[in-house]
Amino acid sequence: AQSVTQLGSHVSVSEGALVLLRCNYSSSVPPYLFWYVQYPNQGLQLLLKYTSAATLVKGINGFEAEFKKSETSFHLTKPSAHMSDAAEYFCAVTGYSSASKIIFGSGTRLSIRP
Amino acid sequence: GAGVSQTPSNKVTEKGKYVELRCDPISGHTALYWYRQSLGQGPEFLIYFQGTGAADDSGLPNDRFFAVRPEGSVSTLKIQRTERGDSAVYLCASSLTLDLTSSTDTQYFGPGTRLTVL
């Protein structure tokens, strides 16, 4: 079965600092990978997704993620954190038999220090 | 254009009672998904529909849980004989097609229904 593991349930960075949220996947077949964000009192929304077209994927709000097969990783980064980036971030992968069944990680809460 | 809406936003019930949670997807979206999110966890897949039929219900935890989408639009998640362990936020999402790996399609999530079973 496919799964993702998010390292660190809580990450805190200073405003303007690099954001790095870690995600490792487990898959016996080439995966499709996603990052979602959940702002306080808002619904989940897609940040970006990897669909094998390019290993470096750019998303909304200045975020990007790089697919590294050798490391089975799909870490999310942003060069300079903004206060508005404070939210819960979820890494996700499609299920083995379906492009419609999304398996989510446990999430990482990102806090931004002024 | 309206997004995905869910009602009620909060539901408090007593153990053993029956509850219904409603989801109104984005108009024209073929696929509809239900997830459950417990405190401190990521969303857990329950079921998804293609049109009126349940294409994959492998995530429903047991036969107390049932979902319908009779006209291919609005969906209702039904929970019988609720238990305290059912307390969670129930999320609904919809997408235009079933292929979430497509570069042009994505899931749109509703705000969720927070279910509390006392």
Residues in B touching A92 (Cβ below 8 Å):
42
Contact with chain A for residue B112, Cβ under 8 A:
yes
The model's pLDDT over B67-104, given as tens digits with 9 standing for 90+, comes to 999 999 999 999 999 999 999 999 999 999 888 888 78
How close does chain A come to B39, measured CA to CA in Å?
A: 10
User: Residues A91, B43: contact at Cβ < 8 Å?
Assistant: no
Question: How crowded is residue A93: how many other Cβ atoms within 10 Å of its Cβ?
Answer: 24
How close does chain A come to B105, measured CA to CA in Å?
A: 10
User: Residues B5, B27: contact at Cβ < 8 Å?
Assistant: no
Query: What torsion do the CA atoms of B49, B36, A52, A35 make, to the nearest 10 degrees?
Result: 140
**Paired sense of beta strands A102-104 and A108-113, if any:** unpaired
The model's pLDDT over B2-58, given as tens digits with 9 standing for 90+, comes to 899 999 999 999 999 999 999 999 999 999 999 999 998 999 999 999 999 998 999
- The residue-averaged pLDDT of A65-89 equals 95
Please state, for a pLDDT cut of 70, what percent of chain A lies above it.
97
Phi, psi of A61 (to 5 degrees): 60, 30
Contact with chain B for residue A46, Cβ under 8 A:
yes
